[in-house]
Amino acid sequence: MASILPPGIDNATFQKILQELSEIVGETNLSRDGLSGSLEGPHGQRTYGDAYVLQPENGRDPSAAIRPSLVSEVQEIVRLANKYKFPLWTVSRGKNLGYGGTAPVVRGSVILDLHRMNKIIEVNEEYAYAIVQPGVSFFDLYNYVQEKKLKLWPSCPAIGWGSVLGNTLERGFGYTPNGEHTQQQCGMEVVLPNGEIVRTGMGAMEGSKTFALFKGGFGPSIDGLFYQSNLGIVTQLGIHMTPAPEHYMTCEVSVPKEDDLPFLIGTISDLMRRNIIQNSPSVSNVLRQCFFSRDPKVAELISPYFGKGCIPENILSEAQKHMSCGFWKAQFALYGTLEIVHASWLAIERNFSKLPGVILWRKEATHRAGDFLTTTDVGPEEIPHSGIPTLDPLQLLGYRGPGGGHTCFSPILPPSGRELYAWYLTAKQRTIDAEFDFFADFHVYARYVIAIELVVFAPAEGKRCDELYRHLLEDAVQQGYSEYRTHVDYMDTIAGHFDFNKGALRKYIQALKDVFDPNGVVSPGKSGIWNSSISNGI
Ligand code: ADP
């Protein structure tokens, strides 16, 4: 008898389903209980589900997991799901850790784990794009480019073991000038919930030579329907990359005081709108700088507070003095020719020097003028502005206790810095009241800021972290903001914020769901998208 069953399926039927799933992919690629077979998680585990549980009462455990390696197998699996009406939950590599990992919204869903579909279908050096399957990680793509000595810098997020395709579909981002992954996506292949295959954009033309070159195609574009979605299973995706530059400079700008944040953010976003800064700066606060400092005195100052509430502000001020750093630090890079990079730096210096006490720092690549840079000329950095993948930030997660994890509160704000500062002050106070530390991981773009607050928690603190999250959300909504991405526990709530004209957008998407997935077999509840027959829908 299976311990967890898909909703509405009895044990005898489930055993029949498992038998038929096994016939599609072979027994070794089926986990009959979801307790093994995933890629290795942050604590070395290979079980499916959420590694960092916030609401244990939801019990978001899967009933089983299946790992196809072919598109035709994916088609057979969705057809079987329709035959027996059981829910699947799609993941590519399942590393969406701060947002629920591989945990489904609906308990008892069968995880459709695509990590074995790991072909790099094409890398085009001349036009700087790649076409990848779901299982291709940022490490895989980077290593491929290195092995073939291609003049390309693929983008990579803070942690490199995730899926290029999965991260893009979640609206994730990296740090090269092509780091806004949804903007760089060009062409998709999708298995629809009825098993049919669709290619988007120019890919819809049989034998197309421009699949990954022109996103538009002809007529309406539908790529966006598959972002953070359950309207299909994406099996291929084209992504644009940064051509290796001739010259490169890593840059840091630090401002001394907490209330200098509006100046810092406003100046960065203005320079981004003018294309002087080309990649998204990552902005950290003193607390985050403490964790990345290798100075033993800093560790001595903060470590007595680990696992005991939050690190007090006077200790953080002392650490700031000791590190001689600013309260806020923005890290970014410049890419181009020697002349362009130097001219951009001059403009950056001129704009930021208006603030007394600002600290400007830069490091230039040294190589023969006129050559294209390899990332090995640059070397690994704290933030992968050159796209070199790393797992280092995972080390942070254990500081409040063994088995620790994180979640991200990820609101979208305007980029002047004024709104960000007002939001930050309330969010910081909420975080202190809940006895957690405020890790700023703000990402600045030309016309918005993704103001990520990273909350690190020990397993026993999940419930308190959930309470904090709800407060952060209430405050943000009162200020007129919501999130761009969220944990599986909050998907309905966030979807409910998008309520213009009585939720017309959500109703439109639901109508598409009803047409293309009448049995609701693909990832029910993803991003608050349900069939109209389901009571906890709209
Ligand atoms: P990563 O390993 O890059 O973190 P995941 O595999 O965890 O990415 O996927 C993140 C989320 O993106 C999943 O929970 C799922 O909702 C969505 N997703 C991932 N892969 C696909 C896919 N191939 N088709 C449709 N949605 C997907």
| CATH code, residues 120-243 | 3.30.465.10
Kindly indicate the confidence band of residue 359, based on its pLDDT and cuts at 50, 70 and 90: very high
| CATH code, residues 11-113 | 3.30.43.10
- pLDDT at residue 535 tops 70: no
Q: Which atom of ligand 1 is nearest to the CA of 169?
A: 12
Rounded distance from Cα 48 to ligand 1 centre (Å): 14
Q: Per-residue pLDDT tens for 50-103?
A: 888 888 888 899 999 999 999 999 999 999 999 999 999 999 999 998 899 999
User: ipTM for the complex?
Assistant: 0.98
| Mutation to probe ligand 1, out of 170, 231, 237 (largest number of atoms < 8 A from CB) | 170
Least confident of 208-217, 300-309, 472-481: 300-309
Phi, psi of 422 (to 5 degrees): -60, -45
Cβ–ligand 1 contact at 200 (below 6 Å): no
- The amino acid sitting at 482 is S
Question: What is the distance of C-alpha 33 from the center of its chain?
Answer: 27
Cβ–ligand 1 contact at 234 (below 6 Å): yes
| CATH code, residues 247-487 | 3.40.462.10
% pLDDT > 70, the chain: 99
Rounded distance from Cα 70 to ligand 1 centre (Å): 17
Cβ–ligand 1 contact at 169 (below 6 Å): yes
| Structure tokens that stand for 141 in this block | 């793509």
Q: In this predicted structure, what is the pLDDT of residue 283?
A: 98
Rounded distance from Cα 102 to ligand 1 centre (Å): 9
Return mean pLDDT, the chain: 95
Taking the C-alpha atoms of residue 186 and residue 182, their distance in angstroms, rounded to an integer, is: 9
| Structure tokens that stand for 517 in this block | 């997935």
Taking the C-alpha atoms of residue 2 and residue 492, their distance in angstroms, rounded to an integer, is: 29
- Distances in Å between the alpha carbon of 138 and those of 19, 145, 409, 496? 34, 11, 24, 33
Domain boundaries of the chain, sorted by first residue: 11-113, 120-243, 247-487, 498-528
Catalytic residues: 99, 484-485
Q: In this predicted structure, what is the pLDDT of residue 536?
A: 57
Fold of 498-528: Vanillyl-alcohol Oxidase; Chain A, domain 4 (1.10.45)
- For 464, the enclosing helix (H) or strand (E) is helix 462-478
Q: Per-residue pLDDT tens for 135-170?
A: 999 999 999 999 999 999 999 999 999 999 999 999
Q: Which residue lies with its CA nearest to atom 5 of ligand 1?
A: 94
Rounded distance from Cα 272 to ligand 1 centre (Å): 29
3-class state of residue 89 by DSSP = strand
Q: Which atom of ligand 1 is nearest to the CA of 190?
A: 24
Beta bridge partners of 333: 250
| Structure tokens that stand for 468 in this block | 């904090």
Cβ–ligand 1 contact at 134 (below 6 Å): yes
Rounded distance from Cα 233 to ligand 1 centre (Å): 9
Cβ–ligand 1 contact at 90 (below 6 Å): yes
Name the H helices within 49-199: 71-84, 138-147, 164-169, 181-184
Is there a contact between 329 and 256 (Cβ–Cβ < 8 Å)? Answer: no
- pLDDT at residue 106 tops 90: yes
| Mutation to probe ligand 1, out of 39, 92, 132, 181 (largest number of atoms < 8 A from CB) | 92
Give the length of the chain: 538
Cβ–ligand 1 contact at 92 (below 6 Å): yes
Is there a contact between 276 and 386 (Cβ–Cβ < 8 Å)? Answer: no
| Structure tokens that stand for 44 in this block | 């070395």
Integer-rounded Cα Rg, in Å, for the chain is: 23
Rounded distance from Cα 16 to ligand 1 centre (Å): 27
- Distances in Å between the alpha carbon of 528 and those of 425, 498, 532? 30, 11, 12
Taking the C-alpha atoms of residue 136 and residue 123, their distance in angstroms, rounded to an integer, is: 13
Is there a contact between 472 and 433 (Cβ–Cβ < 8 Å)? Answer: no
Could you please report the per-residue DSSP string of 255-283?
A: ESSGGGHHHHHHHHHHHHHTTSS-S--EE
- Find the mean pLDDT for residues 176-202: 98
Taking the C-alpha atoms of residue 454 and residue 469, their distance in angstroms, rounded to an integer, is: 11
- Find the mean pLDDT for residues 172-201: 97
Closest of 15, 116, 28, 105 to residue 62, by C-alpha: 105
| Structure tokens that stand for 386 in this block | 């050159």
Is there a contact between 273 and 287 (Cβ–Cβ < 8 Å)? Answer: no
Q: In this predicted structure, what is the pLDDT of residue 538?
A: 53
